[in-house]
Structure 1
């Protein structure tokens, strides 16, 4: 929370300072002698540029929110697949459970305690995770069902093991994703271009407050976009709660 607060303050204060710098810089360069209709023209420019700037922020904000929400759904789906394979292995028989369940337990612990940090640091999945998934997949793939019940259980476990691999890959793709630098260029350019026409208004307390509100809100939106863009690290870290809940069940219980 402290890191998130500090980064948010940097974004908000930074955009307010940029707005002020542009405002006072333009007044210094252009002076204070304006035609009667200058404020009308400036207001028209502000409205049009601010609309485009807001649209850019809104589109990128929406896309990052969709990706963030999709990751949440994928985590729940992957954790559900792990639980399904665990339970079906127990239903299939003790020999299968003894081979599959320890790998599932270690896989869950790895995601929480090691892989999340690796994704934040490198954007790559831990190799051990793929190895454990292969152990699980090969174990259920090699089963030789003797009854319709076992055949259904095997088919279900194979399907869920495949889903785990697909969801793992989607998780890595999310970690490798980053907001295009051109967006930050457009966002900052929009902030500056909206602030430019404000120089025709005198620097009263009310006018500076209004300019600050615009800069602060722009900074807040850009901070949220930045936070959503990396769900594996602060300030927008998404905790693997679905996996943590798995360890609260029998999956997290060590066998003596």
Structure 2
């Protein structure tokens, strides 16, 4: 289902449910004493809604930052992969060609196999790790004479370590990023409490009251919906595409 349609359904369902509860409370509940509860209920509402707003903001900011970190990490991984190939060009024999070919294969593996798997939460094969290990073996086996070649060899190995690290961070973020059950419990129950508390207030007419609680419920549902879809930075409308590795293939001279 389209993200915008599903988000709209979340908002409508929450708004209608809260509106029906607010209507039932005002239409069939006892009004006696409710206006006198405004001071006490107002203080409780401020505390509960303020704490819930802090939790929502913290989770939202954390997930937004995670998307940015994942995007930067993908480009750092791709840039380091290109740097490995460029550093290997100074090494003798067919090392440069082997490293370039293996680097192209690795980038294609990430684009064609790993990225779709990260979007669908499928298991990732070990092809990528094997290709990086073969690149490492090619660089280690290359003879180096003189300070220049030794420096280029060390540079290639150092950049390859960066590729390993960024790859591991990318996979961790793709498969170990879900918001915990405890946080979801706090988000959902807190939203319900924030929506129900205005029903203790008195003084407003029926329809304005229904509109207030419906708007509040719809807004909270929209924020929870955003959190739900921001859990995986590689899926949904906010997903990160493998543009970094397509860029790497262009730098490595591969047609894509």
> What per-residue deviation string (whole Å, max 9, x for no partner) do you get for residues 104-138 of structure 1?
11111111122111122335433111111111111
Instruction: Give the gaps of 5 or more residues in structure 2.
Output: none
The reply to whether residue 216 of structure 1 matches residue 223 of structure 2 is no
Range with bigger deviation, 82-91 or 208-217: 208-217
8 Å CA contact retained: 1:120, 1:232: yes
8 Å CA contact retained: 2:19, 2:211: no
> What per-residue deviation string (whole Å, max 9, x for no partner) do you get for residues 217-245 of structure 1?
21222222222211122243211221122
The reply to whether residue 127 of structure 1 matches residue 129 of structure 2 is no
8 Å CA contact retained: 1:137, 1:162: no
Deviation at 1:15, TM superposition (A): 3.0
| Mapping for residues 25-104 of structure 1, pairs under 5 Å | 25-27=24-26, 30-93=29-92, 95-104=94-103
Could you say which residue in structure 2 is the equivalent of 1:15? Answer: 14
Range with bigger deviation, 119-128 or 63-72: 119-128
Q: 2:130 is paired with a residue of what secondary structure?
A: helix
The reply to whether residue 158 of structure 1 matches residue 163 of structure 2 is no
| Mapping for residues 232-243 of structure 1, pairs under 5 Å | 232-243=234-245
Q: 1:20 is paired with a residue of what secondary structure?
A: helix
CA RMSD of aligned residues (A): 2.3
| Mapping for residues 106-121 of structure 1, pairs under 5 Å | 106-121=105-120
| Separation (CA, whole Å) in 2 of partners of 1:193 and 1:4 | 27
8 Å CA contact retained: 1:86, 1:101: yes
| Separation (CA, whole Å) in 2 of partners of 1:251 and 1:21 | 62
| Separation (CA, whole Å) in 1 of partners of 2:190 and 2:41 | 15
> What per-residue deviation string (whole Å, max 9, x for no partner) do you get for residues 89-115 of structure 1?
223346112211111111111111221
Range with bigger deviation, 162-171 or 240-249: 240-249
Q: 1:16 is paired with a residue of what secondary structure?
A: helix
8 Å CA contact retained: 1:23, 1:195: no
How many residues align? The count is: 253
| Separation (CA, whole Å) in 2 of partners of 1:50 and 1:67 | 25
Could you say which residue in structure 1 is the equivalent of 2:179? Answer: 179
Could you say which residue in structure 2 is the equivalent of 1:244? Answer: 246
Identify if the C-alpha distance between structure 1 residues 148 and 18 changes in structure 2 by more than 3 Å, giving closer, same or farther: farther
8 Å CA contact retained: 1:119, 1:232: yes
| Separation (CA, whole Å) in 2 of partners of 1:203 and 1:180 | 40
| Separation (CA, whole Å) in 2 of partners of 1:36 and 1:203 | 12
8 Å CA contact retained: 1:100, 1:136: yes
Q: 2:7 is paired with a residue of what secondary structure?
A: helix
